[in-house]
Structure 1
Amino acid sequence: MAIDLQQIGKRFRFYTNLKELDMDQLKAMTGSDEATLANIISGKNYLLDDLVAIVKNFKELNPQWLIYGEGSMFKPMNGDGTCDDHHKGCLKKDKSAYLQQMKDMLIELDAAEVAKGHHPDVEALKAKLDQYRATH
């Protein structure tokens, strides 16, 4: 499976917008410089080593989703139902504008995935239907 830097950038931007992290917060959290972070977010050329060094600072972010668009954005919950949530909190933005921004970004991500010919959810549902038919 090929790695698409632009898709990674879109997914990382989606995650950081969801968490309401600005550039100064990202720099402080990751120890990375603004140019590297800006390149990742915009999907420009960057080293995967830089991405890995940054991603390890986000304990709840699923790297499989970030890199390949597979699975959930967040890692599964711990056995006790908890997860690393020290960045969760109340929305600082106007809720309706924030939700519209997230919806627009989801549409953009979905359109990019469809354009690449990816239909993971549809294919997974088809496989489950086939499995169900085979057993019943």
Structure 2
Amino acid sequence: MAVDLQQIGKRFRFYTHLKELELDDLEKMTGSSRETLSNIISGQNYLLDELVAILKNFQDLNPQWLIYGEGSMFKPMDEDGTCHDHHKGCLKKDKAAYLKQMKDMLLELDAAEVAKGHHADVEALKAKLDQLKASE
């Protein structure tokens, strides 16, 4: 299966928006340069070695989903129901505008996946967003 840098960038941007991580946060967490992070998010001009080094800093992010669009965005939770990400928690329940932004990004990601012929676990993400919206 071919690796599509732009698709990886869109998925990484979706993940970082969902986790409410800005470029400054990513620089501090990963130790990577702003330029490298910007290139990954924009889907151009980076090496997979750089991506793999950055991925080690995101304990809850499923690399299979990020790189190939397969499976769930998040790795399974621990047996006690806690998430692997100790920086920010699994999902931050926030305002309706935040959820709408996430839903819009998900629709963009879904359209890109469909255009590429991928069948990612987008329905599960939509259901999760709907569930968060309903819990507000």
Q: Which TM bucket (shorter chain)?
A: 0.7 to 0.9
SS at match of 2:96: helix
- Structure 1: unaligned runs, 5 residues or longer: 122-136
AA in 2 matched with 1:29: M
* Percent of residue pairs identical: 76
Give, in whole Å, the separation in 1 of the partners of 2:18 and 2:120.
Answer: 22
> In structure 1, what is the equivalent of residue 12 of structure 2?
12
Q: Which residue of 2 aligns with 1:116?
A: 116
Asked if the contact 2:69/2:118 (under 8 Å) is kept, the reply is: no
* Code of the aligned partner of 2:59: K
Number of the residue aligned with 1:75: 75
Aligned to 1:125: none
Report deviation, 1:78: 1.9
Mapping 1:16-95, distance limit 5 Å: 16-86=16-86, 87-88=88-89, 90=92, 95=95
Q: Is there any run of 5+ residues in structure 2 with no aligned partner, and where? A: 122-136
Paired residue type of 1:12: F
User: 1:118 deviation in Å?
Assistant: 2.1
In the TM superposition, what whole-angstrom CA distance separates every residue of 1:33-92 from its partner, at most 9, and x where no partner exists? 10000000000120001000101000010000000011111101123332224212755x
The aligned counterpart of 1:105 is 105
SS across alignment from 1:60:
coil
- C-alpha change, 1:79 and 1:42, in structure 2 (3 Å) is same
Aligned pair count reads 119
Which amino acid counterpart does residue 113 of structure 1 have in structure 2?
E
The CA RMSD measured in Å over matched residues stands at 1.6
Larger Rg: 1
